[in-house]
Each structure stands twice: as structure tokens, then as C-alpha cells.
Amino acid sequence: MSDILAGERRLAPVSSLSQTLAVATLIQVVATASVLALTAIAPTVAGDMQIGAHWIGYQISLIYTSGMLSSAVAGSLVQRYGPVRVEHVALSCVALGFAGIATGLVPVMLLASLSIGLGYGLNNPASSEMLSRVTPQNRRNIVFSLKQAGVPLGGLCASFAFPYLTAHFGWHEALLLGALAPLVTMGLLAFIHPAEPKHTAKPASLGRGFREEQSIIWKSRPLRTLSGLGFAYSAMQLSASAFAVVALVHDAGWSLLAAGAVAAGMQCAGAFGRVFWGVVADRLGGGLLTLSLLGLLGGSGFAGLYWLNDLPTILQAGLFVLIGSVTIGWNGVLLAEVAHHAPEARVGAITGGALVYTFIGVIVGPSSFAALYALTGHYGASFLVFSVFGFAGMVAAWRAHRLQS
């Protein structure tokens, strides 16, 4: 293992920070667009296949479950093959996923969704390793936040591109055209980043690598806290994104079109928030302090939704947009802090191990929120209960910040 770590430390950056950041952000945009491509055209696809559009929820859960599993072993793969090769594999999985879903055959679509999830889970550990090698410590939060802004940008691209392409060419052709994006990105990545030599030392098995990563995480108070924050904040993020429209329509009486516009505004605010909170974290000199503030704001925003019907219409929209800037804007700061606290040359591995808990939050959050609504019959009450995730994250991040300061 020492030979592997020494070899990692000898690897010199092969491109500038701006080049690496640009290609890493583009990969994030493409990966996220692949996850949400089918959601953007679900009514058309469901009508053509004569199935209910609600089945898209199961497809998204399948993607994220697959992503959680690939994230669990991504660190070991990065250690073994290097982040550039892993990114090529991730983009290949995304391209195959697009092509598989375009067939319209249910068994193939299921396998294609698993492929997209595999690629999505491999991406962040590999890109974190790439960025950590070329990013100065005083710019860490803004760099990682800029890369993570690719998530809401990918969502916007999917929301606009695939309905447009479907209207002009059909949904099968639209998804096949989507497969070109990861292939072009692979070429750009190969031009900017040649793949590193494989390690000559015998690497640990995937299972052993995962156990080592989890051992490192659980022995480190900051990494343990960051993993918990990933679970709590991702549960809030997906719940806010999934239930904003239905809460506005069901509880506040909005039209579907108007509520959809608010949801789009949340994504735009999330893209801005990822950059903004990265700048704040670098200015404050503390990612954990910023994550504590985000927990306070997110928890307060969720609690405020209990009184949604009592607010003027403009404030209803404004509250959801502000929640979007917070609950979607935390991810870059958290990844930067994971990179900061990870052992040298193990950034990709520890990022993959920590993101397992984020994926669990993604999977558990919306389903738990739905169960709460089944009990309460009121979206505002469900948001109020979920505010506990934000306030608990605020306390945990504050304590970890105080211990390291």
C-alpha cells in the first residue's frame, strides 16, 4: 500500500486547474442529464409504451441504488486504475445507458438504468481525485462547488433539450442523440488528461478497499460528520425537489404550469447557490462552519413551509427558491471538506466511501417523506418534520468545526 501511495504522490498534474475544472464540470453536467433524461419526457415515453408515467420514480430509484453500489467501490478503482480511466468507464456507462433506454424494450431499459447509475456513482470519486491534485487549498471550496454546479445545470439541460429533441425527432432518436454527449466528452477528457500508468504494486481487493475506506471515515470525527451531513442534506435536497410542485398545487392551489416554473427557479437558485456557498466557505476559511449555516437555513426554510398557505403568493415562490439555493447548494462544500480531511493520495477513495451515505439519503429521503405525508395528509407538516435533518446537521457541523478550530 505504501508503494501505491508513494506512486500517487509522484504523479504530476498534466493540465491546468481551469482545464481540469472545465472537463470535470462538463462530465457532471452530462452524467446528471443522463439520470434525468427520461423524467423530462416521461409522459411521451409512458404513452408510447402504454405504461403509467409514475413508473419513472422506480427508474430513478434504480439509478441511485446502482450509483450507491458503484460509489462504494469507486475509491478502490481510482486507486487501482487512476481517475482518468475511471472517468472514461463512467462516461462509457452513461453512453450505453442512453442507447439502452432508446430501445424502448423494458428489460434493456432496466439494464440501461443500472448502467447510468454505475457511471454516476463512479464520477464524483474520480473527479475529486483529479481536482484535488491541481487545486490550491485556499480555492478548494469554490473549485469543488463550481464543479458541482454541473448537477443543477445538467438538470436544466435535460429539462430543455430532451423535450425539444423529442418534439422534432421522436423520443428514441432524442436519447440516441443524447448518447453523443458522453462520447464527445470522453474525447475531450482524453485530449486534456492522458491516463496515468497503472500501479505495478498489487492493489487491495474491492471489498478490502471498501472496508479500509469505511474504517478511515469512522475513525475520523470530521469525515464521520461529513458522511452524516451527506445523508441528511441529500434527503432534504431530493425531498424538496420531488415535492415542491405537488405541495404548491395540492396545499397552496397553484396551477401545474406555475408550480413547474417555481421548481425550475429552485434549480437555477441551486446552481447559483453551489458557487455562492463555495465562495462563502473559502472566505470564512471553514467548510464545516458553512455547512452548519446551511443546516440552519435549510431547517428554517423547511419549517417555514408549514405556514405556506398563510404567505402571499410571491413569498411562497420566494421561499421555495431560497430553499433551493440552500438544499441544492451544499454539495460542493461538503466534497471539498472531504477532500481536505482525506489522507494524502486517498481523496478519490474516501470521497467514494463518504458518498455512499449521500446516496442512501437520496434513496431514503423521498420515500420517507412520502410515508410522512401518508400519515399527516399535509405537505407542510411533512416538511416541518424533515426540518430536523437541517437542524441536526447544523449542530453536528458546528461541533466538528469547534473541535478542529
Query: What are the structural domains of the chain?
Result: 2-194 (1.20.1250.20), 210-404 (1.20.1250.20)
Output the nine-digit C-alpha cell for 147: 464543479
Using CB atoms within 10 Å of the CB of residue 190, give its burial: 0 to 12 exposed, 13 to 18 middle, 19+ buried: middle
- Name 35's Cβ contacts closer than 8 Å, sequence gap at least 6: 60, 63, 116, 117, 120, 154
Note the pLDDT of residue 205: 58
- The DSSP code for 201 is S
d(CA 296, CA 294): 5
Output the nine-digit C-alpha cell for 294: 446551511
Note the pLDDT of residue 342: 86
Residues of the chain falling short of pLDDT 70: 1-15, 52-54, 56-57, 195-209, 345, 405
Nearest to 94 by CA among 56, 66, 53: 66
Note the pLDDT of residue 203: 56
Note the pLDDT of residue 6: 40
CA angle 1, 117, 266 (to 5 degrees): 115
Note the pLDDT of residue 204: 55
User: Within 10 A of 118 (CB to CB), how many other CB atoms are there?
Assistant: 25
Whether the Cβ atoms of residue 116 and residue 103 lie closer than 8 Å to each other: no
CA angle 225, 366, 211 (to 5 degrees): 40
Using CB atoms within 10 Å of the CB of residue 207, give its burial: 0 to 12 exposed, 13 to 18 middle, 19+ buried: exposed
Please report, as a single letter, which amino acid is at residue 296.
L
- Name 355's Cβ contacts closer than 8 Å, sequence gap at least 6: 71, 121, 124, 125, 230
C-alpha dihedral over 165, 167, 247, 65, to 10 degrees?
Answer: -40
Residue where the block lists cell 498534466: 14
Residue where the block lists cell 421522436: 170
d(CA 26, CA 156): 13
- Name 178's Cβ contacts closer than 8 Å, sequence gap at least 6: 33, 34, 37, 98, 161, 162, 165
- Name 28's Cβ contacts closer than 8 Å, sequence gap at least 6: 123, 127, 147, 148, 150, 151, 154
Note the pLDDT of residue 62: 87
Note the pLDDT of residue 196: 64
Residue where the block lists cell 474491492: 206
Return the exposure string of 369-396: e unless at least 16 CB atoms fall within 10 Å of the residue's CB, then b. Answer: beebbeeeebbbbbbbbbbebbbebbeb
Q: Could you give phi then psi for residue 195, rounded to 5 degrees?
A: -70, 145
Write the CA distances from 342 to 223, 229, 337, 379, 381, integer angstroms.
8, 16, 8, 39, 38
Q: What is the pLDDT of residues 300-338, one digit of tens each?
A: 999 999 999 999 999 999 999 999 999 998 988 998 899
Sign of torsion over alpha carbons 146, 149, 150, 153: negative
pTM over 0.85? The answer is no
